[in-house]
Structure 1
Amino acid sequence: MVHGDTICNWHVDTLHGGDTISNWQIGYAIAPMVARGIMLGPDQPVILHLLDIEHAAESLNGIRMELTDAAFPLLKGVVATTDVVEACKDVNIAVMLGGSPQKEITLRKDMLSTNASIYKAQALILEEHAAADCKVSVVPNPANTNALILKQFAPSIPKENITCLTRLDHNRALGQIADRLKVHVSDVKNVIIWGNHSTTEYLEVNHATFTTRNGERPVREHVADDHWLKTEFITTMQQRGVAIIKARKASSAFSAAIAACDHIRDWVFGTPKGTWVSMGVYSDGSYGIPPRLIYSFPVKCEKGKWSIVQGLKIDEYSRAMMDATAKELIEKKSLAKSCLE
């Protein structure tokens, strides 16, 4: 990502309609955030590339009109299109929001097959038309597997540049811990989301700390409730999206959009010293996780690059949880491969 006077092209990939309306709502929420500078800072001009399917063209044009009416100083152009080639042309950052969610009545293989075809097609276009340094963040589930498919079919995009979003759960975990300890969320840091963005993901606080007047203190020691950390804390995270839908009769699009902005901003500008965030990235074998999976690790970012935090002590319980979510990712990788054959 080049700063200064260089204009960054940004790509939201959305699929409109009943099955994917929450992803469309994320796109609607995130577009003004990027135009305002929440993602790339107050000095970075942007051109937004907004992609949707043909029958949503009129609605997409309405978003373009709203962006124009908002008179964002940083917004140097909007490409609102149903042409995937036009949408991907020279983009530096691609936030992928399109996908088919799994319903209770849908077989997992059918859901994976649909997403495999979507992400294969998107990858081939990004491979040919995106900027060589394009950074990609995949949001919809199965996010890790979707990102892995995209990596397979966009081989010229560096593997380090293809990621998936686990930042929403990372942010949610910070919020829950802050509530539990009765502190401000900005005082809590270094929770970890390990593995697959699914019900098997492991939310870990063994290395998390919070700031007090007397310095940093370990979260686990002050929560002092192992049962809560292994039960209610995790189930609250797993059910948070459903709880929000029940409460406001709509999805958690706003917090997801913020998380996507956080993910890209920290990746581009770097994480604060002594702080890490959770990102789904290409495994290099760290912590015994099989390589060639997109797996959520604790990462530090600097100068537009991420690196996995090394040397964290892993206890027996964490080891079992981390391996279990890796096993699910291996199974999904195998199933996705069979769908593409």
Structure 2
Amino acid sequence: MSASPLKVAVTGAAGQIGYSLLFRLASGSLLGPDRPIELRLLEIEPALKALEGVVMELDDCAFPLLAGVQIGADPNKIFDGVNLALLVGARPRTKGMERGDLLEANGAIFTAQGKALNSVAAADVRVGVTGNPANTNALIAMTNAPDIPRERFTALTRLDHNRAISQLAAKTGAAVTDIKKMTIWGNHSATQYPDVFHAEVSGKNAAEA
């Protein structure tokens, strides 16, 4: 087992996605069975009570790889020294909310988080953004963290990727395991473009399959 715990930050940690992610991290199923971790969990003030309940559940599991848990609402404290930051939390679009309003709200969130990562994260930090619109939010965080190499930021549009593979499999009659090199361009919105021209089905160009 590696001696020094990896410091992993998760934002929106009391939400449904954050909740399911924490137990995979703590059990070793995400980062490996020999990697101890220290969880740094970020939430908005109103959700901290719920997050305390999540921490109690983690304690109940007594995960051997979980070296510690810290919770809070200040990204400058939670991101201090982190090696991996998973930016899951984002403002969801509510009924009657304009897309521009949503972008403005999330812009403020990811601006603050990008600046905090730039100031206090470990020199080797890597950042994964899943909060939608993931590409835009990743760009905002990255722009506000100029000292972190751009290649350390990843926007995880896995749902769109999986949907494209499933639809291509249904269209061609191939198994999903036969589809390779599927790329999704654009954002998690109407700008999305599944690129079948560079994808492969059983080793052949998907556009010709």
Name the TM-score, length of structure 1 as normaliser. Answer: 0.56
Q: State the partner residue of 1:134.
A: 125
| Residue from 178, 182, 196 that aligns with 2:187 | 196
- 1:15–1:99: 8 Å Cα contact kept in structure 2? no
Q: 1:143 aligns with which of 134, 145, 153?
A: 134
After superposition, the Cα gap between the structure-2 partners of 1:198 and 1:88, relative to the gap in structure 1 and judged at 3 Å, is same
Alignment of 1:37-56 (within 5 A): 37-56=28-47
Give 1:57's match in structure 2, choosing from 39, 42, 48: 48
CA contact (8 A) 2:184 2:195 kept: yes
SS of the residue corresponding to residue 163 of structure 1 reads: strand
Task: Name the residue aligned to 1:206.
Answer: 197
Q: Describe the superposition over 1:245-294 as per-residue Cα deviations: whole angstroms up to 9, x where unpaired.
A: xxxxxxxxxxxxxxxxxxxxxxxxxxxxxxxxxxxxxxxxxxxxxxxxxx
CA contact (8 A) 2:13 2:51 kept: no
Residues 10, 49 of structure 1: 8 Å contact kept: yes
What letter is aligned with 2:208? E
Q: Select 1:73's aligned residue among 30, 39, 64.
A: 64
Q: Aligned to 2:167, what secondary structure does the other structure show? A: helix
User: Aligned residue pairs: how many?
Assistant: 209
8 Å contact kept, 1:15–1:53: no
Q: TM-score, normalised by structure 2?
A: 0.88
* 1:231 alignment counterpart: none
Structure 1: which 5+ runs fail to align?
17-23, 223-341
Give the match for residue 148 of structure 2: 157
Which structure features the higher share of helix residues?
A: 1
SS at match of 1:156: coil
Q: Which residue of 1 aligns with 2:3?
A: 5
Give, in whole Å, the separation in 2 of the partners of 1:103 and 1:199. 18
Once the two structures are TM-superposed, the CA of residue 175 in structure 1 deviates from its matched residue by: 3.0
Mapping for residues 1-341 of structure 1, pairs under 5 Å: 4-14=2-12, 24-211=15-202, 216-222=203-209
The residue type equivalent to 2:26 in the other structure is: A
Q: Distance in 1 between matches of 2:178 and 2:37?
A: 32
Displacement after TM superposition at 1:135 (Å): 0.8
Q: 1:175–1:5: structure 2 CA closer, same or farther, 3 Å change rule?
A: farther
Distance across 2 between alignment mates of 1:32 and 1:171:
23
Given the superposition, is the C-alpha separation of residues 75 and 179 from structure 1 closer, same or farther in structure 2, using an over 3 Å criterion? Answer: farther
Q: Distance in 1 between the 2:50 and 2:31 partners?
A: 26
- The alpha carbon displacement at 1:181 in A equals 4.4
Q: Deviations over 1:279-329 (max 9, x none)?
A: xxxxxxxxxxxxxxxxxxxxxxxxxxxxxxxxxxxxxxxxxxxxxxxxxxx
Query: Residues of 1 paired with 2:8 and 2:102: CA distance?
Result: 27
Q: CA deviation at 1:179?
A: 4.2
Instruction: Report which structure shows greater RCO (CA 8 Å, sep ≥6).
Output: 1
Gaps spanning 5+ residues in structure 2: where? none
CA contact (8 A) 2:106 2:137 kept: yes
Aligned counterparts of 1:33 and 1:155: Cα–Cα separation in 2 = 30
Alpha-carbon RMSD across the aligned residues, in angstroms, is 2.3
Counterpart of 1:54 in structure 2: which amino acid? E
Sort the Cα spacing of 1:45 and 1:187 in 2 relative to 1 into closer, same or farther, 3 A.
farther
CA distance in 1, matches of 2:111, 2:119: 13
